[in-house]
Structure 1
Amino acid sequence: MKKEGYERLLKQKGLKKTKVRIALIQHFINMEHAQSYNDLQAAFVEELDKSTLYRNLASFEQAGIIHRIDDHSGMAKYAFGESPMKGNGHAHFVCECCETVYCMEESIPIQPIVPKGFQTNQVQTIVKGICANC
């Protein structure tokens, strides 16, 4: 995706076009795996302060540009694309060795049957194992 595509995405999602937002989108698209706040802070140490990064992550998540992954490590990870709750969704692979989180490309049905009277708000599928790099 070129810069024009990033700008079009921001416009479609109702967000202002800024250099920081374009750089963040480009970073997410270029990464093979999900990014923690610390990963992003290290990547943008020169360009962003903590509050600007938090605000932009929140805006991106709310707009559906990125989605949050809770891999039970205590630190949320973020990846490009809408939440797996939209449509069929996708699972996430968590490497038990390096703790890297990857979005799995294959769409999987995520429609659990819950007891009568219960309401599902979020379903997250985590697959654990060892990644190809480890």
Structure 2
Amino acid sequence: MFAFMRPIDILNNHKLKRTSCREGIIEIVMEANQALSENEIRERLAGNYDRTTFYRSFKTLVEHHIIHKIVVDNQVVKYALDKPETHKSAHAHFYCNTCNTVKCLDNIPVQHYALPDGYAGEETEVLIKGTCSVCKEQASL
């Protein structure tokens, strides 16, 4: 998907130490065509990393804006490669209520809202919930 980028280049761009766990997490997120949960990433990660190593690596990648969090609700949180790495602008996300997938909607830009005096916006998240095309097609069979 992002063939022009390598995990090691991303880590170097952020002046982060290269570790196999960090590289593995980035590679998994890059190869997925949808956002993944922490558990999905951990299950796909090759190698025997203890919980502490995984979570420290994961936290570092989130803090350095290499991957970003997509909060669906208080039980579902997914992660995808962040905008600086993908060179995408702010965009909406789609959550399928049927198969629980989260996809970036790159062609749907996030609107900038005029806020009242004294307010300063820092982030805007747009999450659209519904049925994805695959589930909708399967339901019509």
Cα displacement (A) at 1:88 = 4.2
Cα displacement (A) at 1:105 = 1.6
User: C-alpha separation between the residues in 1 aligned to 2:78 and 2:106?
Assistant: 17
Corresponding residue number in structure 1 for 2:12: 11
Map 1:1-134 to 2 at 5 A.
1=3, 5-44=6-45, 46-82=47-83, 88-106=89-107, 108-134=109-135
Does the residue aligned with 1:116 lie in a helix, a strand or coil? Answer: coil
User: C-alpha separation between the residues in 1 aligned to 2:113 and 2:54?
Assistant: 34
Give the letter for the 2:38 counterpart. Y
Cα displacement (A) at 1:45 = 7.2
| Rg (Cα) greater in structure | 2
Unaligned runs of 5+ in 2: 136-141
Conserved? CA contact 1:34–1:102, under 8 Å: yes
The alignment covers a number of residue pairs equal to 131
User: C-alpha separation between the residues in 2 aligned to 1:81 and 1:131?
Assistant: 22
Conserved? CA contact 1:41–1:48, under 8 Å: no
**Taking every aligned residue pair, what percent have the same amino acid on both sides?**
27
Unaligned runs of 5+ in 1: none
Conserved? CA contact 1:41–1:50, under 8 Å: no
User: C-alpha separation between the residues in 1 aligned to 2:104 and 2:73?
Assistant: 15
Give the letter for the 2:114 counterpart. I
More deviation, 94-103/113-122 = 113-122
Normalised by the length of structure 2, the TM-score is 0.80
Normalised by the length of structure 1, the TM-score is 0.83
Give the letter for the 1:120 counterpart. G
Check 1:27–1:82 CA distance in 2 against 1; reply closer, same or farther (3 A cut). Answer: same
Give the letter for the 2:126 counterpart. T
Does the residue aligned with 1:133 lie in a helix, a strand or coil? Answer: helix
Cα displacement (A) at 1:73 = 4.4
Misfit runs of 4+, over 6 Å: none
